[in-house]
A and B are shown apart, each in its own frame.
Chain A
Amino acid sequence: MNGTAGSMPQTEGKMTRRTIPLSLIVGGVIVGLHLLAGLLTLFWTPYDPTAMVGGRLAGPSLAHWAGTDRLGRDLFTQILIGARIAIEVGSGAVAIGAAIGVTLGILAAFATRTLDDVFAAAFDILIAFPTLLVAMLIVAASQTASLFTAVLAIGIAGSAIIARLTRILAKRVLSMDYIVAARVAGSSWPSIVVVHVLPNIWPTLIVNLALQFGLAAMAESSLSYLGLGAPPPNASWGRLLQEAQGTVYTAPFGAIAPGIALVTLVIGVNLLADGLRAFADPTRRGRR
């Protein structure tokens, strides 16, 4: 090869440092605090979550930061345990949903037109059923209400949305010239999926997965509320909300505290995902 560098223009692009997006920091702190609280409960809790340690339906105090429930159990302890359950459910359901959804979506994107149509119709039919309804059907079919069943049910129910999004995103990437270039370069289809398709679809996908995390945490709360989620003594936020239903006017903090915990976790996960997407995107650095 002949060197021709002397006659060529200078590269105009400039390397710029990655700036950490504010959403990544804020989301990281919120999720980190929830994670920390959840992990802490594996070793230590302020009180025994099943012990009656105070007066019934007591308001927040120095001894009981979030007050007590109708049996006199410490609410803050239960909220801390609920954080662990929410994270387990959210990440577990998203992992199951992503594993099923991304695989099916990629397969659909590569399928022949007829098979792709079948996949697309199947995804649309599944999406037409509310996630919670599908999850309830799966839990009912399994005839056991456990945390694992709830995670599995929510994951499977959410996978159709992930599959449909993956299919659309992957099809768009597969139509790009750089995929043809990769084929000409000798790359195999599995390698094209790993090197080109997944890195180009994950920024949109991760935002959707973050939404799914929030939906999963809320779906678990709803399942628990219906008695189909984590069975007692698991202090899921959904169960806490359910238990506070009857006393919401007399002791509102029993509903407010787990509600705040759930909302902040969902916001934190969404901010974290958005921040990660922005931080990992090379096209945001030194844009021409």
Chain B
Amino acid sequence: MSFITVENVSFAYRSGRTILDSLNLTIEKGRNLGIVGESGSGKTTLLRLLLGLAQPSAGRILLDGQILDTRNRAFMGGFRKRVQAVFQDPYSSLDPRQSVFNIVAEPLRALKVQTDIESAVSEALAAVGLPADAARRYPHEFSGGQRQRIAIARAIVARPDLVLADEIVSALDLSTRILIVDLLKTLSTSATFAVVSHDIALVALLCPDIIILEKGRIVESGPTERVLKDPAHPYTRRLLASTPRLPPPV
């Protein structure tokens, strides 16, 4: 079932520089989607459009058939309840002056979600593997991986249908990456994730579907398994070839 539909979406700056060019894609409920591309391919711009933080220069984005209209306050309230995000840098995405409780509770308060905020925050923290007393602490008291868990807790606390994850493990060390990937796999049972990354291996672990972006265009899309096994586009082959591998044991 199509949840978000992107129809012929383009994005260009006033200077005329085109970032995204006639994109078409759908995000289906319950099926994680990986959006892969190198730096400058337009991944983050696409994410901003999907989050309603910017307006496409052309085309439209639909949520359950309704046009994503950032000027429609009532629509955006409902949209925010259903679509949340986790950002790349766990150090700058958490307000250093807010306690973890206030950070995680922010969507519930802002969106006026009718729930017991205290228990919802505890539940979200437990879901990401943080103890309840973490709520009283401040971001600087946590490691990078733990901060990213707090950011994930904030994204899932309002029980959204879709979580857009922007390079969420790129700022973390390898062992922490594995823990966060495992966590996202577990959370995928209750929310759909759209994982934006330059790391094709990460996307392969989490997403049954993938799109490959190059210079603002989708050059390949389809089931991840098929794209990885039999890449049709030279750019996809180049991306796959550039994935780091351990040398064979001597």
* Chain A residues near B (Cβ < 8 Å): 1-15, 176-178, 180-188, 191, 195-196, 199-200, 282-283, 285-288
Q: Enumerate chain A residues within 8 angstroms of B80, measured Cβ to Cβ.
A: 184-186
Q: Enumerate chain B residues within 8 angstroms of A196, measured Cβ to Cβ.
A: 95, 97-98
Given A181-B93, A185-B80, A1:B129 Cβ within 8 A: no
Are B92 and A177 in contact (CB-based, < 8 A)?
yes
Contact of A178 among B92, B140, B145 (CB under 8 A): B92
Are B129 and A2 in contact (CB-based, < 8 A)?
no
Complex: A184 Cα to B165 Cα, angstroms: 12
Are A178 and B93 in contact (CB-based, < 8 A)?
yes
Contact of A9 among B51, B89, B145, B156 (CB under 8 A): B145
Contact of B146 among A1, A9, A184, A200 (CB under 8 A): A9
Contact of A184 among B53, B138, B142 (CB under 8 A): B53
Are A180 and B53 in contact (CB-based, < 8 A)?
yes
Contact of B123 among A1, A178, A283, A286 (CB under 8 A): A1
State the 10 A-B residue pairs at the shortest beta-carbon distance, nearest first. A8-B129, A13-B141, A1-B127, A186-B110, A186-B80, A177-B93, A185-B107, A186-B111, A187-B110, A177-B92
Q: Enumerate chain A residues within 8 angstroms of B102, measured Cβ to Cβ.
A: 195
Q: Enumerate chain B residues within 8 angstroms of A283, measured Cβ to Cβ.
A: 96-97, 138, 140
Q: Enumerate chain B residues within 8 angstroms of A4, measured Cβ to Cβ.
A: 126-129, 182-183, 186
Q: Enumerate chain B residues within 8 angstroms of A10, measured Cβ to Cβ.
A: 131
Best-buried of B80, B89, B97 by chain A (most CB within 10 Å): B97
Given A177-B87, A185-B107, A282:B186 Cβ within 8 A: no
For window 197-211 of chain B, which residues contact chain A by CB distance below 8 Å? none
Are B127 and A3 in contact (CB-based, < 8 A)?
yes
Best-buried of B76, B123, B140, B143 by chain A (most CB within 10 Å): B140
* Chain B residues near A (Cβ < 8 Å): 51, 53, 76-77, 80-81, 84-85, 87-89, 92-99, 102, 106-107, 110-111, 123-124, 126-131, 133-134, 136-138, 140-143, 145-146, 149, 151, 154, 156, 159, 179, 182-183, 186-187, 189-190
Residue of A nearest to B97 (CB): A199
Are A186 and B95 in contact (CB-based, < 8 A)?
no
Q: Could you list 25 examples of A-B contacts with CB < 8 Å?
A: A2-B186, A3-B127, A4-B186, A5-B131, A6-B129, A7-B179, A10-B131, A11-B134, A11-B137, A12-B142, A176-B92, A177-B88, A177-B89, A181-B106, A181-B154, A184-B84, A186-B80, A186-B107, A186-B111, A188-B110, A283-B96, A283-B138, A287-B141, A288-B140, A288-B142
Complex: A177 Cα to B168 Cα, angstroms: 13
Complex: A137 Cα to B124 Cα, angstroms: 59
Q: Enumerate chain B residues within 8 angstroms of A15, measured Cβ to Cβ.
A: 136-137, 141
Complex: A175 Cα to B216 Cα, angstroms: 24
Complex: A180 Cα to B48 Cα, angstroms: 10
Best-buried of B51, B111, B129 by chain A (most CB within 10 Å): B129
Given A11-B137, A15-B137, A288-B142, A185:B84 Cβ within 8 A: yes
Are A14 and B129 in contact (CB-based, < 8 A)?
no
Q: Enumerate chain A residues within 8 angstroms of B187, measured Cβ to Cβ.
A: 1-2
Q: Within the complex, what minimum Cβ distance (angstroms) separates B106 from chain A?
A: 5
Q: Enumerate chain A residues within 8 angstroms of B127, measured Cβ to Cβ.
A: 1-4
Best-buried of B94, B99, B110, B190 by chain A (most CB within 10 Å): B110
Contact of A13 among B94, B129, B137 (CB under 8 A): B137
Complex: A196 Cα to B143 Cα, angstroms: 22
Given A181-B87, A186-B81, A282-B97, A2:B106 Cβ within 8 A: no
Q: Enumerate chain B residues within 8 angstroms of A183, measured Cβ to Cβ.
A: 53
Best-buried of A6, A184, A285 by chain B (most CB within 10 Å): A184
Are B129 and A12 in contact (CB-based, < 8 A)?
no
Complex: A254 Cα to B92 Cα, angstroms: 55
Q: Enumerate chain B residues within 8 angstroms of A184, measured Cβ to Cβ.
A: 51, 53, 80, 84-85
Contact of A282 among B87, B138, B146 (CB under 8 A): B138
Are A288 and B143 in contact (CB-based, < 8 A)?
yes
Given A1-B124, A2-B187, A184-B51, A195:B146 Cβ within 8 A: no
